Amino acid sequence: MIKPHGSDELNPLFVYDTAENEKLQTEAESLKSILVSSATAANAVMLGGGYFNPLTGYMNKADALSVARDMKMTSGLFWPTPVLNLLHDAQGIKAGDRIALKDPNVDGNPVLAVMDVEAVETFTDDEMAMMTEEVYRPHKDEAHPGVEAFNAQGKVCLSGPIQVLNFSYFQSEFPDTFRTAVEIRNEIAERGWNKVVAFQTRNPMHLAHEELCHMAMDRLGADGLVIHMLLGKLKKGDIPAPVRDAAIRKMVELYFPENSAMVTGYGFDMLYAGPREAVLHATFRQNMGATHFIIGRDHAGVGDHYGAFDAQTIFDEKVPKGALQIEIFKADHTAYSKKLHKVVMMCEAPDHEKEDFILLSGTKVREMLANGEAPPKEFSRPEVAKILIDYYQGLNK
């Protein structure tokens, strides 16, 4: 199986030993505690599950600035985005303190992790602006949900190793879908897969997405596919995770051969950082055991902040050769061809005009679903459309 990024073995930061976990829970009751941001909590979940291997906790200022500028830590380790614990003020915390991190996303704010604080530092306005520009590449005059979330957390940076005690709400709310990198690696091994394709989604999968996965598997000679859903916070208007989950499971049940696809999810808040987030996605897909990762048009984008294929070209232009072992399957926009009577990559149909494809905007699809109208069968499987129609019509009641 493919090695994790940066180490021979996966090193998840979750405390699996029950006695040790309970001991830390008890200790946390007497520690100074802070309520962290949703982004910091999501970072803890990813560190706990082994997705952010080989990181041992939150980055310090020097590492975060180096990662933002050059996609590598001061040690030289390749890493695409800062992994931070940011606050508005230090709350009296100093280097050497041991603190409890409380979860903002669960009622009662239980302790999510215990942290040994190695440094308390403050980013300047210019440093925050540099990280924002390098990671998100925002348009100066337009709102960007990732930029807003990043800069809303504060400028005080707590760095140091953590021990993760639970997986926030993800394990309880998505027991059939949430999986750690450790669990996915184990299941890949149990299924006997060697060449494994990962597909990222924060949306339901329509026919074009389904066929893209089949194309990638066929062309790569893959043993299996891991459909890996983002289960964390999205932007307003995105379809909730339980609805996406039901729609994707129905598609896999009906249209994929047995033992060819796993439906899983991970606990993270969407960054909407386009190319940089695509590299982060590839990094933690390697950690979960995938050998190949599909990256299509405007991966992890928002609005028109990024070029259509910037999330692909960054791997050629900015990711050093050998920095990651996982390979990228570059996909063009896929659509149903009226001429060929099948879904194709649009770049592979040079004799087609726009009217030769069935193309529907997201707005148009949402309008159809809300009106109880299924999109054309060339766009969406009817069984998938039914689940989405039920959801949208429920919003109108």
Which residues are tagged catalytic?
Answer: 202-203
Within a 13 Å sphere around the CA of 196, how many CA atoms are in the beta-carbon half? 31
Torsion of CA 67, 72, 78, 82, to 10 degrees: -10
C-alpha–C-alpha distance, residues 310 and 200, integer Å: 16
* Contacts (Cβ under 8 Å, ≥6 apart) of 115: 57, 58, 85, 98, 99, 100, 101, 158, 160, 161, 162, 163
Compute, in degrees rounded to 10, the torsion defined by CA atoms 172, 50, 263, 371.
Answer: 70
Whether 119 and 60 have beta carbons less than 8 Å apart is answered as yes
**Residue (of 324, 99, 362, 353) closest to 239 by Cα position:** 362
Task: Kindly write down the DSSP assignment for every residue of 269-308, as one continuous string.
Answer: -----HHHHHHHHHHHHHHTT-SEEEE-TTTT--TTSS-T
Asked whether 48 and 40 are in contact (CB, 8 A), the reply is no
CA distance 337 to 322: 37
Alpha carbon distance 123, 257 (integer Å):
51
| C-alpha separations of 313 from 108, 282, 324, 331, 347 in Å | 44, 14, 15, 12, 16
Handedness of CA 312, 316, 320, 326 (dihedral sign): positive
Residue carrying the six token digits 């389904």? 210
Q: Cα–Cα distance between 9 and 191 in angstroms, integer?
A: 20
Q: What is the biggest distance separating any 2 CA atoms in the chain, rounded to whole angstroms?
A: 69
